[in-house]
A = this chain, B = another copy of it.
Amino acid sequence: MTSQTLNLVPFVDVDNMMRLVHAVGIERFLQELSDYVAEDFRRWQLFDKTPRVAAHSPDGVIELMPTSDGTLYGFKYVNGHPKNTRSGRQTVTAFGMLSDVDTGYPLLLSEMTILTALRTAATSAVAAKALAREGSRCMALIGNGAQSEFQAMAFRAVLGVDRLRLYDIDPEATARCRSNLARFGFEITACASAEEAVEGADIITTATADKLYATILSDNMVGAGVHINAVGGDCPGKTELHRDILLRSEIFVEYPPQTRIEGEIQQLDEDYPVKELWQVLSGQIPGRTDTAQVTLFDSVGFATEDFSALRYVRDQLAEHACYQDLDLLADPDEPRDLFGMLMRAAPARRSA
């Protein structure tokens, strides 16, 4: 890198993110991204696990989620504003940055609305690969909103899931999910109820958008040996599973201090025993121990997953030039002469 380019930071906008996904291929993208997510979970103890910094307001929240592995630093800006859909806006938007710890210089700025959907699905697939019964091919997908197709594609890429049983309280959502996935060769069954959806499923993914304590799954719906991938219960006051399911499952989480506030386990005592996914992935503790066990991944999303996603995107840019350079950093020839640089940029009209 020459000194003339020190001021430039690669930026992946929404259009370029979509181009990158298609250039790599969505299944390969999700598979490789899952590898990055798993690799960073195995390096868990290296990471600076700062709590997210939240600014709450009556209609929503804006959060900064920083983390670092000592070599790279990443943060994500993300908002959550449920009323946004009334004005044609997204409930959640996000962007992120990756920087070099040694210099503090940004290495990548990226949209993260699409990327977060991809990393959430990749993380679910990483957990399921470690926790679901071997040979799991059939997944119930309850809640067919924005995250549903990403989950289906990641489970196909990482576990070989090829049968889907869809259910949503809104049949249009199910129809759209089915139509969006049609070209990928799944065997898809649209179901009339959550009870019907879970029939014969090896894996149950819940990804509903309900705001309040809900019971998408009740205890009698969960058979022996099932892996539950609970994606939707991800903030205080928002859960999807009946408490009894939690009590007979082996529960795996990302980062207990965060999950106890935001996840399904907010329904349990503060010291209820849970296992950490990174310990399973690094071989310190077993995942599933028998085929009859019910396993639960109580997913809320953690900063390291965004870090993995930014790291993966950055590593793709050498091969796929899906970015533009932003002139983000002032770079005077003489570092102490910022004012001189500013004055030399004056339009040539000094004769006036």
Contact = CB atoms under 8 A, between A and B. Distances in A.
A119 B9 CA distance: 24
A103 B81 contact: yes
Interface stretch (A55-63, A185-193, A210-218): A55-63
A55 B73 contact: yes
Nearest to A350: B183
A176 B340 contact: yes
The majority secondary structure among interface residues of chain A is mixed
Given A62-B101, A77-B97, 15 more contacts: A6-B88, A18-B345, A26-B342, A50-B55, A55-B66, A55-B73, A57-B101, A62-B73, A87-B103, A113-B330, A146-B335, A146-B339, A149-B339, A149-B340, A176-B336
Interface of A: 3, 6-7, 11, 13-15, 18-19, 21-22, 26, 48, 50, 53, 55, 57, 59-62, 64, 66, 68, 70, 73, 75, 77, 79-81, 84-85, 87-91, 93, 95, 97, 99, 101-106, 111, 113-114, 117, 145-146, 148-150, 173, 176, 180, 326-332, 334-343, 345-347
29 contacts: A7-B14, A14-B331, A18-B341, A19-B345, A22-B346, A53-B53, A53-B66, A55-B66, A55-B68, A57-B68, A62-B104, A77-B97, A79-B103, A79-B105, A80-B104, A81-B102, A81-B104, A84-B105, A87-B103, A95-B328, A111-B329, A114-B338, A117-B338, A117-B339, A148-B339, A149-B340, A176-B337, A176-B340, A180-B343
